[in-house]
Amino acid sequence: MDAAAAVALNVGGELFQTTAATLSRAGAASPLASLGPSSPSAPHFLDGDPRLFAQLLSFLRHGRLLAPAPPSASLLAEARRFALDGALLASLSPASAFAPLSLRPSALLPLAGRVPPSAVAVCPSPPHPASLVAAHGGVVTCFDAALATRASVLTPLPAVDSLVAVSPALALAGARDFPGVHLCRFSDDGPAAAAVPEVLSWPGSPSATVLSMAATVPSGAPSAPWLFASFESARRNSSAMVAFDLNSLSPVAEIGRKEVFGADVEAAIPATKLGWLCEHNLLLAAGSHSSPGGVVGDIRLWDIRASATVPVWEVREEEDCFADVAASDTLSALFKVGAASGEVFMADLRRLGNGGGIGLEPWVCIGDGQRAAAAASSRRKEGNGCMIECYCNWVFVTRGADVEVWSQVELAPEAGGKKVMKRNWVGSGPYMDAGAGEEAFKEKAKIVSWAFGGSRMALARADKRSVEVWDSALAKICANP
Amino acid sequence: MGTVDGGGGGKSGTVKQLNVGGKLFSLEASSLSLSLSLDSPSPTPTFVDRDPALLSAILAAIRAPSSAALAFPARVLLNEAHFYGLHAQLLAALSPPPLRGFSVSLASTLSPASEPYPTALAPHHDGSLCLSHGIGQVTYYSPALDHLATFRTHLHRITSLRQLPPSLVVLGSASAPGLHVYDFLEGRHVASVQWWDPTDTRVSKAKVIAIAALPPADAADNNSPILATFESPHRENCIVVVDPVTLKPTQEIGRQSGSAAKSSTPGRVVHLPALGLVFASFVSSGAFGYSGYMRLWDIRSGNVVWETSEPGGAGRSSRFGDPFADADVDVKQQAIYKVCSKSGDVAVADLRSLGNDPWVYMSSGPRGSGGGYGSLLHCHQSQVFVSRKDGLEVWSRLEEQRHNTGDLAEQSGTNERPKSEGFDERSYRSCFVDTEEDAKRGMIQMMEGGGDRLFVSRVEIQGVEVWETSHLAGAISLS
């Protein structure tokens, strides 16, 4: 409120007044940050559209856009002139506005061509805006965080099975039957293509195919992001996880190399699901093998600084093996969906036995335990095709076309102080509802790939040539920060 | 650029010049918040680094209350209005006009994002709504009906819910023990209350059937207690009085064995603070029709002051086969209203002169088969809303007319005097609230009034309907 600190701006003929503190929020890269105090009689002149500048100034004051509609392309272009576009895009889908019980379908992103999307990924949104990447056939398409523009690149892969979005300009694609992790660069001003390899492969077996990938999230630490990729050699007799430094794009470490000798396939199951636990510096690697005798699997946790050959913890899954596993940093737990029962189990990371010996069963069923036991003993396959994922404080499970969410409820200390996991459906769930919802119900198809980021959930459904985006920011974006 | 009159038009306060982000505004100082108006008047306008578009939208909304579209979401404007001290004025401008049952229309349908099947409604007198829906979820809509928060409770199905301002919500489930208090802004479990009896070990894991907290119809003080009816697994039940500050049980009234219909757990509790009474009613229905009781307890002594049960009791013989389907109390009018299950008639009893048969029956003409079967009755703002199979009906009193024709009534007969002092069937008029299309959506499952809004949910229909009186004509353009 000090008039001396007020900055007067003449933008396209219209007078704006604000403070240097507000303008400095634009960041050092912005030309706005360097404007000093000036009187209304001698304002700084900026060439621009005053209508758009008013919105940008409002964004600087509030840290978000106030109008609920996504920003127009002209506003984004204006923001780029003042180097505000990054902050603007990041504010559109903040992770703090993520609330699974408020998720609503907000957009349908059509993809070019005839191939339905096989994988989706969302950029880790605290450092980057939550842009969205989808692979359809061999084409990888990136949508910016405002869901306004898209860019596609063609990869040599005929189909993409695993996809990781590193930044809005870089995604990594791998396929189960084709060698190498392929880099997809969406901006033209990246490093010269000749200098860096555009394919990352296992040095021990360059023709190895990619089963799964996970990237570390640069959580404030200045360390470069790493990529973990699980490779299986073309002859399918050896497998390993390789860590790559994403700045130099060079392999850093080989973890948990396994060789199959003879017919003992179950002794060396390659990891088909990787996960990174940032707080604990642990890599989750899980793989399962289905045979007429049932499904068996291995879940391992690796501390890559300690050892690349001996995992910190491992468990062999035989009864009600996982259909999918995920690890949650904030809940400090592993979660799995049982392939036989379809129920959700939780293993507290602080209570895992230290390998060897006969430890307690790590898994606690947080769903219907009796049903799980009955299903496991009768060898049903209710969990087939279910996927599980952790994001923020919640655990999500896909069941066919629907998404289930588990939230943690903490009771007051006097009521026992227990923490319990409770289940809900995202959206209206698989209820048959007459009337308005009927068409939407018919539209629902099985979810084949999904991703979380910012305040969004992205879903790719079987045989639908578009990506569904669910957002909870619309409900919460206006909340007081 | 704009001036806001602080209520009194004749009283002209000092006009304050504001420079909001480069644009000049003139506001009356008395209407502004303290921090802004304390500045000594200076020739140069006070500069604030704020968005001028927001202030002009706020002023536009205040000047033209209940007009249509806002330039920004209501919540953005309300947040910004806090800064200028215009929050109360803006909220008043955004709120609907006083609820008149005979002229309300469907304003909007609130539908939570996930599992939008309501299980309990808890409106507040400021027009906000707490809503439990789906599997143990609670959603809070602010007085401007903005979605503010949704959180998951540990209960599976919440069947009773009440707001405890500013940010608490009291809830209970008919399938899990205890009365639970959550903070809806943080989604945090704050406390739980159990019905304990150290002398009777059978009383444990009692479930909550109904809750009465702060009568939502009027701005009562924060210290009126929460009343909850608990039912233990062997059906013994009582009303527990809970202190709203300490959230501890203070008193237990109306303990009943629950072994018969006449001692079953009340499904509705209403606190009548002015009379020091607690109204409790229980209704059950089955193949042989309805049966139930109403009882008034003295909250201090815990004694039954008055009770009636139907069928049976000492009603008049013409109404013998017509037990009530639902009953509610109008706290302000001090009257009990009931709707009869067979005829569908509404009856009123004056709380000040209850006797053996206090009911004054009002008929709204012949009804289709079913009459009052499945009817709900809700008293709100001196109006009685009655849901029926074929629609929603409101009974309003012709108060003005009664005053005008007071002389006439005096002339017509002195034996009518005592009745017109209390409740006269001729001073009530019934109207349909909804249209036939509305009624086709389904039977009304829950109905609660809050402030100037009526919230209605229907059986197996998503979302909650919000009914408001509107001054907008809503003309449909034909060209």
| pLDDT value of residue A372 | 84
| pLDDT value of residue B138 | 94
Query: Which residues are CB-contacts of B356 (< 8 A; sequence separation ≥ 6)?
Result: B314
The pLDDT tens digits for A48-59 are 889 889 889 989
| pLDDT value of residue A196 | 59
The Cα A340–Cα A322 span in angstroms is 8
What's A269's DSSP letter? P
For chain A, domain boundaries: 3-92, 322-451
User: For residue B349, what is the enclosing H or E element?
Assistant: strand B346-350
Q: Which segment of A60-74, A111-125, B271-285 scores lowest on mean pLDDT?
A: A60-74
Q: Are B104 and B468 in contact (CB under 8 A)?
A: yes
Residue B398's nearest CA partner among B365, B431, B375 is: B431
Q: What's the pLDDT band for B66 if we cut at 50, 70, 90?
A: low
Q: Are B130 and B182 in contact (CB under 8 A)?
A: no
Q: What's the pLDDT band for B460 if we cut at 50, 70, 90?
A: confident
| pLDDT value of residue B223 | 66
What is chain A's mean pLDDT, rounded? 84
The pLDDT tens digits for B168-194 are 899 999 999 999 999 988 889 999 999
Between the two ends of chain B, the Cα-to-Cα distance in Å is 36
By percentage, how much of chain A surpasses pLDDT 90? 26
**Burial class (CB within 10 angstroms; exposed 0-12, middle 13-18, buried 19+) of B229:** buried
Half-sphere exposure of B420 (CA within 13 A, CB side): 20
Average of per-residue pLDDT across A21-34: 85
Q: Which residue did the predictor score with more confidence, B399 or B2?
A: B399
Q: What's the pLDDT band for A189 if we cut at 50, 70, 90?
A: low
Q: What's the pLDDT band for B473 if we cut at 50, 70, 90?
A: confident
The Cα A347–Cα A215 span in angstroms is 23
The Cα A259–Cα A257 span in angstroms is 7
Angle (deg, nearest 10), helices A50-62 and A85-92: 60
Q: What's the pLDDT band for A87 if we cut at 50, 70, 90?
A: confident
Q: Which segment of A211-220, A263-272, A465-474 scores lowest on mean pLDDT?
A: A211-220
* Residue A345, pLDDT above cutoff 90: yes
Residue A15 has its nearest CB partner, among B22, B75, B180, at B22
| pLDDT value of residue A447 | 92
CB contacts of A68 in chain B (<8 Å) are 73
* Residue A434, pLDDT above cutoff 50: no
Q: What's the pLDDT band for A146 if we cut at 50, 70, 90?
A: confident
Longest CA–CA span in chain A (Å) reads: 86
* Residue A116, pLDDT above cutoff 90: yes
Average of per-residue pLDDT across A20-38: 85
Token pair in block for residue B474: 């809503």
The Cα B87–Cα A480 span in angstroms is 14
Query: Within an 8 Å CB–CB cutoff, is residue A96 touching chain B?
Result: no
The Cα B191–Cα B181 span in angstroms is 5
Restricting to A residues 421-450, those with a Cβ less than 8 Å away from any Cβ of B are 422-429, 431, 433, 435, 437
- Name residue B384's beta-bridge partners: B379, B395
Residue type, B322: D
CATH of A3-92, one of 3.30.710.10, 3.40.50.720, 3.30.420.40, 3.30.390.10: 3.30.710.10
Q: For the range B235-243, what are the long-range contacts, defined as Cβ-Cβ under 8 Å and sequence gap of 24 or more?
A: B235/B259, B235/B264, B235/B265, B236/B202, B236/B203, B237/B206, B237/B209, B237/B263, B237/B264, B237/B265, B237/B266, B238/B195, B239/B266, B239/B269, B239/B278, B239/B280, B239/B297, B240/B179, B240/B193, B240/B195, B241/B299, B242/B179, B242/B193
What is chain B's mean pLDDT, rounded? 82
Query: Which residues are CB-contacts of A249 (< 8 A; sequence separation ≥ 6)?
Result: A183, A196, A197, A200
- Name residue B328's beta-bridge partners: B337
Q: Are A314 and A256 in contact (CB under 8 A)?
A: no
* Residue A21, pLDDT above cutoff 70: yes
**Burial class (CB within 10 angstroms; exposed 0-12, middle 13-18, buried 19+) of A118:** buried
In order, the DSSP letters of A349-372 are: GGG---SSS-PPP--EESS-HHHH
Could you give the strand order of the β-sheet that contains A44-46, starting from the edge strand earlier in sequence? A14-19, A6-11, A44-46
Cβ contact, residue pair A478, B190, below 8 Å: no
* Residue B417, pLDDT above cutoff 80: no
Residue B379's nearest CA partner among B229, B216, B143 is: B216
The pLDDT tens digits for B154-166 are 999 999 999 888 8
The Cα A459–Cα A114 span in angstroms is 18
The CATH class for the domain spanning B119-265 reads mainly beta
Q: Give the pairing type, strands B46-48 and B15-20.
A: parallel
CB contacts of B190 in chain A (<8 Å) are 412
The pLDDT tens digits for A418-429 are 889 999 998 877
Restricting to A residues 228-257, those with a Cβ less than 8 Å away from any Cβ of B are none
Q: Which segment of A75-89, A184-198, A305-319, A408-422 scores lowest on mean pLDDT?
A: A184-198
Query: Which of B76, B111, B170, B182 is most worth mutating to test chain A (most A CB atoms within 10 A of its CB)?
Result: B76
For chain B, domain boundaries: 15-94, 99-111+314-479, 119-265
Q: What's the pLDDT band for B422 if we cut at 50, 70, 90?
A: low
| pLDDT value of residue B446 | 93
CB contacts of B117 in chain A (<8 Å) are 431
| pLDDT value of residue B36 | 66
Angle at the Cα of A481 (from A60 to B187), degrees rounded to 5? 160
Token pair in block for residue A198: 């555009």
| pLDDT value of residue A354 | 56
The pLDDT tens digits for B291-340 are 899 999 998 888 999 988 888 765 666 677 788 999 999 888 889 999 98
Q: Which segment of B13-27, B254-268, B401-415, B426-440 scores lowest on mean pLDDT?
A: B401-415
Cβ contact, residue pair A431, B117, below 8 Å: yes
* Residue A451, pLDDT above cutoff 90: yes
Residue type, A188: D
The pLDDT tens digits for B426-448 are 788 888 888 888 888 888 999 99
| pLDDT value of residue A145 | 87
Q: What's the pLDDT band for A336 if we cut at 50, 70, 90?
A: very high
Give the minimum alpha-carbon distance from A439 to chain B in angstroms, rounded to a whole number: 15
Query: Within an 8 Å CB–CB cutoff, is residue A58 touching chain B?
Result: yes
- Name residue A277's beta-bridge partners: A282
By percentage, how much of chain B surpasses pLDDT 90? 28
Restricting to B residues 77-96, those with a Cβ less than 8 Å away from any Cβ of A are 79
The pLDDT tens digits for B105-158 are 898 899 888 888 999 999 988 889 999 999 999 999 988 888 888 999 999 999
| pLDDT value of residue B4 | 45
* Residue A449, pLDDT above cutoff 90: yes
By percentage, how much of chain A surpasses pLDDT 70? 89
The Cα A227–Cα A166 span in angstroms is 9
CATH of B15-94, one of 3.90.330.10, 3.30.710.10, 3.10.20.30, 3.40.50.300: 3.30.710.10
Query: Within an 8 Å CB–CB cutoff, is residue A309 touching chain B?
Result: no
Q: What's the pLDDT band for B274 if we cut at 50, 70, 90?
A: confident
Token pair in block for residue A265: 């396939």
CB contacts of A405 in chain B (<8 Å) are 114
What is the torsional sign of CA B317, B319, B321, B326? negative
φ, ψ (nearest 5 deg) of residue A161: -100, -35
* Residue B68, pLDDT above cutoff 70: no
Q: What's the pLDDT band for A444 if we cut at 50, 70, 90?
A: confident
Q: Which residue did the predictor score with more confidence, A358 or A396?
A: A396
* Residue A195, pLDDT above cutoff 80: no
| pLDDT value of residue A169 | 87
Average of per-residue pLDDT across B45-52: 84
Q: What's the pLDDT band for A373 if we cut at 50, 70, 90?
A: confident
Q: Are A276 and A216 in contact (CB under 8 A)?
A: yes
* Residue B235, pLDDT above cutoff 50: yes
* Residue B220, pLDDT above cutoff 70: no
* Residue B368, pLDDT above cutoff 60: no
Q: Which pTM does this prediction carry?
A: 0.87
